Copies of this chain bind each other. A is one copy, B any other.
């Protein structure tokens, strides 16, 4: 890692820290991902595209991304509500910076998968009360 991670910044330990705080949130990277793929996307589409996300969560994350200047919300003040979301230039640059992480995850998928299988095994084994969750529906 080079010195692009300049320490002692205003509120962050380094640029990496700052970035990670911006994209912190279960669905934000995914939202960025979807928006980076196609152009402006309507709320409902996004909602259906990202399975397992609730309205509350999606709206919340979109609001933050919007407030943070990463996505732009367009509200066509129409009769049945119509709103769409798109990346701002800032959002697009961030999406670009995420590409290497996508790549890393994809290239090292085997290891990562193994690692997570391991984690689950370890967690399950150390539970004294050992309660068997029937179907912990994707998280």
Contacts and interface: CB of A to CB of B under 8 A. Distances in A.
Copies in the complex: 2
A4 B106 contact: yes
A67 B99 contact: no
B33 A105 contact: no
A23 B103 CA distance: 15
Main secondary structure of the interface of A (DSSP, over half): helix
A113 B15 CA distance: 11
Interface magnitude class on chain A:
35 or more
Interface string A41-53: 0000000001000
Interface of A: 1-2, 4-6, 9-23, 29-30, 32-33, 36-37, 50, 64, 67-69, 90, 93-109, 111-113, 115-116, 118-119, 122
